[in-house]
Amino acid sequence: MSPQKRVKNVKAQNRTSQGSNSFQTTLSAWKVKQGASNSKNISKHGQNNPVGDYEHADDQAEDALQMAVGYFEKGPIKTSQNKDKTLEKHLKTVENVAWKNGLASEEIDILLNIALSGKFGNAVNTRILKCMIPATVISQDSVVKAVSWLCVDKCSGSTKVLFYRWLVAMFDFIDRKEQINLLYGFFFASLQDDALCPYVCHLLYLLTKKENVKPFRVRKLLDLQAKMGMQPHLQALLSLYKFFAPALISVSLPVRKKIYFKNSENLWKMALLAVKQRNRGPSPEPLKLMLGQANVRPLKRKWNSLSVIPVLNSSSYTKECGKKEMSLYDCLNRSGSFPLEQLKSFPQLLQNIHCLELPSQMGSVLNNSLLLHYINCVRDEPVLLRFYYWLSQTLQEECIWYKVNNYEHGKEFTNFLDTIIRAECFLQEGFYSCEAFLYKSLPLWDGLCCRSQFLQLVSWIPFSSFSEVKPLLFDHLAQLFFTSTIYFKCSVLQSLKELLQNWLLWLSMDIHMKPVTDSPLETTLGGSMNSVSKLIHYVGWLSTTAVRLESNSTFLLHFILDFYEKVCDIYINYNLPLVVLFPPGIFYSALLSLDSSILNQLCFIMHRYRKNLTAAKKNELVQKTKSEFNFSSKTYQEFNHYLTSMVGCLWTSKPFGKGIYIDPEILEKTGVTEYKNSLNVIHHPSFLSYAVSFLLQESPEERTVNMSSIQGKKWSWYLDYLFSQGLQGLKLFIRSSVHSSVPRAEGINYNNQY
Amino acid sequence: MDSYDVPESTPSASSRPEDYFVGATPLQKRLESIRKQTSFIPTPPRRKIPQCSQLQEDVDPQKVAFLLHKQWTLYSLTPLYKFSYSNLKEYSRLLNAFIVAEKQKGLAVEVGEDFNIKVIFSTLLGMKGTQRDPEAFLVQILSKSQLPSENREGKVLWTGWFCCIFGDSLLETVSEDFTCLPLFLANGAESNTAIIGTWFQKTFDCYFSPLAINAFNLSWMAAMWTACKVDHYVATTEFLWSVPCSPQSLDISYAIHPEDAKALWDSIHKTPGEVTQEEVDLFMDCLYSHFHRHFKIHLSATRLVRVSTSVASAHTDGKIKILCHKYLIGVLAYLTELAVFQIE
């Protein structure tokens, strides 16, 4: 028992390490990229990784299964008092694992032996047989061993029947069949048994090769038919024999009959689909849909077999068409080409990139990361056009809200979109077909169906002129945006942030690689920057209105400020000559927010704006020459205005003088006497609680706290306290924008550089 | 809600929209044309009335007769990759083997073996609008009779044909590796269409989509076909409207004597040789108001599902029957336009 378990564990390890290896060759490239760009987000939101727990649970199940298999191997313990209970427990374990993940071929080997050796009762044997579901494959040897048990007659008739049914159902998952075919004679002899006959017929139907068809067998079959009458299973076998050896069978058989064996008798239908799924690897076809009845499927279903995405086949088929005219040169040339089926690794792709046999259906590249690489670097017009047409038409055909009452396929469509998005992430590039699809489908979209996928498609729109795309996409999106929930608004902002990021990445790459690559868009830098700035202004407009509609929701402000965290750093992070400030509606909402994290984020953004503008100014001075991308003084003025307001509120306690100007008379009417310092770092509604806990920390026994006591030395301690509470944005802002070593409650000398 | 307007943009560089796409790739151009299509009305406001026989001289009259008076199911088809007219014989052989293999799923079939079906590919010479249109071709599946005494050419099991009439807009956008035959018409069991379609999709990396005709396009057909001069009318002009009500939908059929329809059209029609959107709308409105006067039913609130005239009849499901030899090309030209619109 124990050595076996060790073996098993090693195997399990191998399996996982293999898994990760293959992962590396396929998707790691973009995962890493994604990781880099998202790492900030992840650390910020502090996501927990649930994978650990999950693995743990899996380990436990594995152990329980080992124990159960061991128990069955030992056989029933007669003396044990609670024998039934233990047996039941172990059976349950095996059943659970089998139906969930399938059993390894070693486990099937052991359990099959047990079920057919008659160690346990009939009921137990039946239950064991019913859950003999392979994780991936069944070893041929296990089957041969099992059949040998049938010869010694240890098991009941019903168990035998069940075994044959199982064998038929699992036939496709047996790794090899040569040995089993050698037992053909034995199976054929079992036809005698009336109860077994239909199932044995089915098995033989699957097993028969041309050399198995012998005159004596034909006679036997005809005898059986004479005895039992026209049975569909016998007819099936006979028609197969007739197909292989028409000369031997002169009986006429009904030609039209198509179904000889009823699939409804299959006990393992669900399990089989699951195994197929596992064996095929991650597939775009969800399990549920493969079960869908044929009649509800639209016409196309029947056309393209199972999956939406065609299977990868090299184009030799097409070449074959011209076979007659093929010269010797072509023959030699062809042998030099590299078949896709053999393409397994990236180095292979590099070595054979000049002589790759392209797939016969270009759509199949969507599931193959290596070929996606190929598609990405090849600028071959026919290749791209074939892919474009396929993807456009498939999206149009699959799109569920084009058709009424077609929501059964929703899951399938979602999966298809997911596959496309995976490919786009992998390539870090959007497909034109998807953009064209969005033009057509966005006006009809309800904003609910496949929301996450749809918004991701939006974020992968290839870079283009914003004013051209706006009426086609963004105007429709705006309608949905304003009329939907706050969560929808946040998701839209999130995807627009990603869109901005993708455009910026693309542009920054494009500028630096221009001499090398043959860029698809021959744009001027000014034009590109104009388009990006229009996108940012558009999001600014959406945000301003949304903040009002959602009455300054903190949640929404977070998403808006996330967007501006990208915007403020364009000059430094992407090396692109663009600084766009946020609109006043956003700035003041954030500044007056009741949430300290919003204010902190605002401080961080202001700090980054400052860095970017300073860098831009420095570059201008260095270059001296009048570049076309000098920022207008308006941008600097705007920034200074914001800065003055912020410092006035938070630091100098002169909130409404410069920056936000409010007439003193109006302020008096409000009846708030101490309005001047009510928005500084101590009294600002989002900081007040910090100030109180700071004071309580200082002197916990105090009954009343005196806010005005935070002055002089205490002021800087208080600041250190704030910084220690995670307000890093505030720290950066104060360090860079407020130049004061000895802060006082008022009259600090802050120095605005511009 | 305040209006959206873009403040003065930060970079001082000026840019006009046309600066953007100088020397764009064909894919980019395609996207451009889609943008235009999507932002404006999808169909041009005016079309030519189908002219008298525009068929080329070398058309085989027998083949044309074969295409008429049959109900065809319409599909749009993306361009065929590496299709060659010189390989039609070879395609017949391969498709033949493919069909047999599909029908006996799971059993290996040797290419070139004798089967009881026969596949024939043949060109429909002259079936084109302009010289640039690629040649149309026909695929037929015949059953071969088992007995040698009988006529070897058995009955036709399935027919399908591919054509492109005035497909200039599509032809301009693809390279010579592709053959553009955007309109596919099939007659026969759908299971056969599926098998053959699958073979074409696998072999030429193309894509078939069912081509439905919406009510808007059906009214265009009604107007254009009524406008055609027909020597003797073989059928009444008939419209079918569907009223969505449960448990069963209600159909309203509206038949008019073709000469009356023509008279109505002539009273509306102004520009010779052309049909405009206003004329189409007016034509339908007249029919609606006439019906309303008699039955107090607003047909405009229902859905037009079928139009039949002496020229042709079309159903919204994408089924068409062409009756008049003279206007074959004209009917196909409009269908090609719809198919191109669907694949663009």
User: Does residue B247 have a cis bond before it (omega within 30 degrees)?
Assistant: yes
Residue A146 maps to a domain: yes
Please tell me the distance from the alpha carbon of residue A557 to that of residue A563, in angstroms, as a whole number: 10
Helix, strand, coil percent content, chain B, rounded in steps of 5: 35, 25, 40
**Could you tell me if B201 and B182 are in contact, meaning their C-beta atoms sit under 8 angstroms apart?**
no
Q: Which two tokens stand for residue A460?
A: 């992968």
pLDDT digits (tens, 9 = 90+) for A634-649: 888 889 989 988 988 8
Does B75 contact chain A (CB < 8 Å)?
A: no
Interface with A, mutate which of B3, B6, B77 (most A CBs under 10 A): B6
Nearest to A227 by CA among A273, A194, A188: A194
Encode burial over B305-332: b for 16+ CB neighbours within 10 A, e otherwise: bbbbbbbbbbbbebbbbbbbebbbbbbb
- What sign for the dihedral angle of Cα A597, A601, A606, A610? positive
Please tell me the distance from the alpha carbon of residue A60 to that of residue B117, in angstroms, as a whole number: 60
3-state secondary structure of A453: helix
Give the pLDDT of residue B230: 83
Lowest mean pLDDT among A268-272, A383-387, A618-622, A626-630: A626-630
Does A537 contact chain B (CB < 8 Å)?
A: yes
The DSSP secondary structure of A89-108, one letter per residue, reads HHHHHHHHHHHHH-B-HHHH
Please tell me the distance from the alpha carbon of residue A575 to that of residue A511, in angstroms, as a whole number: 9
Residue A210 maps to a domain: yes
Helix runs in A442-516, H state only: 451-459, 466-469, 475-483, 486-513
Distance from CA of A557 to the nearest CA of B (A): 19
Q: Which two tokens stand for residue A22?
A: 């293959």
Give the pLDDT of residue B52: 56
Q: Which two tokens stand for residue A243?
A: 């197909």
Nearest to A142 by CA among A92, A103, A97: A103
Query: Which residue from B194, B205, B210 is facing A361, i.e. has the nearest CB?
Result: B205
Distance from CA of A224 to the nearest CA of B (A): 25
The answer, yes or no, to whether residue A255 has pLDDT greater than 60, is no
Touching B: A residues 293-352, CB under 8 Å: 299-300, 302-305, 310, 313, 317-318, 320-324
Does A630 sit within 8 Å of B177, measured CB to CB? no
Question: Which of the listed ranges A135-144, A533-542, B89-98 does the model predict with the highest average pLDDT?
Answer: A533-542
Does A545 sit within 8 Å of B13, measured CB to CB? no
Does A402 contact chain B (CB < 8 Å)?
A: no
Cβ count near B304 (within 10 Å)? 23
Q: Which two tokens stand for residue A42?
A: 């992840």
Residue A530 maps to a domain: no
Q: How many domains does chain A have?
A: 1
Please tell me the distance from the alpha carbon of residue A195 to that of residue A157, in angstroms, as a whole number: 8
The answer, yes or no, to whether residue A30 has pLDDT greater than 80, is no
Residue A89 maps to a domain: yes
pLDDT digits (tens, 9 = 90+) for A160-196: 888 998 888 888 888 888 888 888 999 999 888 888 8
Does A472 contact chain B (CB < 8 Å)?
A: yes
Distances (CA, A) of B203 to A360, A588, B100, B197: 7, 62, 16, 10
Lowest mean pLDDT among A151-160, A297-306, A565-574, A705-714: A297-306
For the range B89-96, what are the long-range contacts, defined as Cβ-Cβ under 8 Å and sequence gap of 24 or more?
A: B89/B121, B90/A321, B90/A322, B90/A323, B90/A324, B91/A321, B91/B121, B91/B203, B92/B119, B92/B120, B92/B121, B93/B119, B94/A320, B94/A321, B94/B199, B94/B203, B95/B119, B95/B121, B95/B139, B95/B196, B95/B199
Please tell me the distance from the alpha carbon of residue B165 to that of residue A367, in angstroms, as a whole number: 36
The helix or strand, by DSSP H or E, that contains position B240, with its residue range, turns out to be strand B237-243
Query: Which residue from A385, A465, A628 is facing B12, i.e. has the nearest CB?
Result: A628
The answer, yes or no, to whether residue A297 has pLDDT greater than 60, is no
Q: Which residues pair with A66 in a beta bridge?
A: none
Question: For tokens 């070693």, what's the residue?
Answer: A106
Please tell me the distance from the alpha carbon of residue A337 to that of residue A352, in angstroms, as a whole number: 8
Residue A193 maps to a domain: yes
Distance from CA of B253 to the nearest CA of A (A): 24
The DSSP secondary structure of A602-638, one letter per residue, reads HHHHHHHHHHHHHHHHHHHHHH-S--TTPPPHHHHHH
Touching A: B residues 185-244, CB under 8 Å: 190-191, 194, 197-198, 201-210
The answer, yes or no, to whether residue A398 has pLDDT greater than 60, is yes
Distance from CA of A117 to the nearest CA of B (A): 35
The helix or strand, by DSSP H or E, that contains position B238, with its residue range, turns out to be strand B237-243
| Cα A594 → chain centroid | 36
Does B1 contact chain A (CB < 8 Å)?
A: yes
What residues of chain A lie within 8 A of the CB of B79, using their CB? 385, 389
Distance from CA of A376 to the nearest CA of B (A): 14
Does B28 sit within 8 Å of A545, measured CB to CB? no
Q: Which two tokens stand for residue A352?
A: 């054979």
Query: Which residue from A390, A472, A526 is facing B11, i.e. has the nearest CB?
Result: A526
List of residues 6+ apart from A433 with CB closer than 8 A? A387, A388, A391, A392, A395
Residue A219 belongs to domain spanning:
62-70+83-267
3-state secondary structure of B123: strand
Give the pLDDT of residue A377: 80
Lowest mean pLDDT among A225-239, A362-376, B166-180: A225-239
Does A628 contact chain B (CB < 8 Å)?
A: yes
Does B82 sit within 8 Å of A318, measured CB to CB? yes
Does A527 sit within 8 Å of B15, measured CB to CB? yes
- A148 pLDDT band, cuts 50/70/90, is confident
Residue A558 maps to a domain: no
Helix runs in chain B, H state only: 26-39, 61-67, 88-103, 168-171, 190-204, 215-227, 258-268, 277-295, 328-343
Q: Look at phi and psi of residue A405 and say left if phi exceeds 0, alpha if psi is from -120 to 50, else beta.
A: left
Q: Which two tokens stand for residue A132?
A: 């003999």
Predicted TM-score of the model (pTM)? 0.67
Residue type, A618: K
Residue A575 maps to a domain: no
Distance from CA of A550 to the nearest CA of B (A): 14
Give the pLDDT of residue B38: 65
Please tell me the distance from the alpha carbon of residue A654 to that of residue A650, in angstroms, as a whole number: 9
> pLDDT tens string for chain B (344 positions)?
445 554 444 443 333 333 333 345 667 767 777 776 665 544 556 787 776 555 556 677 888 889 999 999 999 999 999 999 999 999 999 998 888 887 776 555 545 455 678 899 999 988 888 888 999 999 999 987 655 555 556 788 999 999 999 988 888 878 888 999 999 999 999 889 999 999 999 899 999 999 999 999 999 999 999 988 888 888 889 999 998 776 777 889 999 999 999 999 999 998 888 889 999 999 999 999 999 999 998 998 889 999 999 999 999 999 999 998 888 999 999 999 999 988 88
Does A261 contact chain B (CB < 8 Å)?
A: no
Maximal CA-CA distance, chain A: 115
Give the pLDDT of residue B56: 59
Interface with A, mutate which of B1, B5, B15 (most A CBs under 10 A): B15
For the range B94-98, what are the long-range contacts, defined as Cβ-Cβ under 8 Å and sequence gap of 24 or more?
A: B94/A320, B94/A321, B94/B199, B94/B203, B95/B119, B95/B121, B95/B139, B95/B196, B95/B199, B98/B195, B98/B199
What residues of chain A lie within 8 A of the CB of B100, using their CB? none
Cβ count near A16 (within 10 Å)? 11
Does B190 sit within 8 Å of A299, measured CB to CB? yes
Residue A224 maps to a domain: yes
Nearest to B201 by CA among B92, B93, B27, B78: B78
Q: How far apart are the first and last CA of chain B?
A: 36
Burial class (CB in 10 A: 0-12, 13-18, 19+), A8: middle
